[in-house]
Amino acid sequence: MGLGTWTGRAPLALLVAGGLLGLGWAIPGVQAKGLRRPGQVPGVQAAAGLGSALGKPCAIGMGFSDQRFIAAMIPHHQGAIAMAELALRKARRPEIRALAQRIISSQSQEIGQMRQWYQQWHGAPVPVLEAYAHGGMGMGGHGMGMGIGGTSRPGTDLATLIRAQDFDRAFLSAMVAHHRMGVIMAAMAQIHTRHLELLDLEQAMVRVQSSEINQMEAWARQWFGAP
């Protein structure tokens, strides 16, 4: 099935224009119709070097195959789950604990589904990307909650969260940054996705994590006066 026959892809150009890549935010869910190849998407060339800018050339975006997306998103999900498990123990507010439980449930299910698809499509278990093998910087930290070294799972800095004087505030900040990178990964991967079921999952990731970001930012404003 050609890319030109697919609709509903999160348009990369809108994410760039909306400021998401600069840690701003764009409204998700806008459909891109008539997409035939990456070069036809306005603004896609400007974003093509994002992988290099984040410290791992071709790790995401234009070179993000289905195989590489799954291999990268699984450890990214594991990072979110690790932070959420910590929140179940340390968060004071029940709203955060409820969100943490939802993250654990949904992202654990997604990990299982991606592992199953990978085995089915490629006849092998999901490999460990070199960037994640030793808890290194992965696809770049840059304050985006991904691949911070010295942690048990990629994409988390559990030691910093554990030491935080105000855990709830630190958790919201860390998880918002982590989710933002997840949204970027899932949105950019849609350009090259070959399996419709994976495309559906990527779109769901954008929707769900965008909604959770909005909720966490609203809590941060309500509880801490954070911008």
Give the closest residue to 110 by CA, choosing from 206, 174, 175, 23.
206
For the record, the structure tokens of 59 come out as 């790790």
- Domains of the chain, CATH where assigned: 59-224 (1.20.1260.10)
Mean pLDDT for the stretch of residues 152-161 = 65
Q: How far apart (Å, rounded) are the C-alpha atoms in residues 169 and 91?
A: 9
pLDDT of residue 67: 94
Give the closest residue to 198 by CA, choosing from 135, 120, 104.
120
For the record, the structure tokens of 137 come out as 């910087």
Q: What is the largest CA-CA distance in the chain?
A: 52
Q: Please give the mean pLDDT across all residues of the chain.
A: 73
pTM, entire model: 0.69
Query: Which residues, 6+ apart, have CB-to-CB distance to 108 below 8 Å?
Result: 77, 81
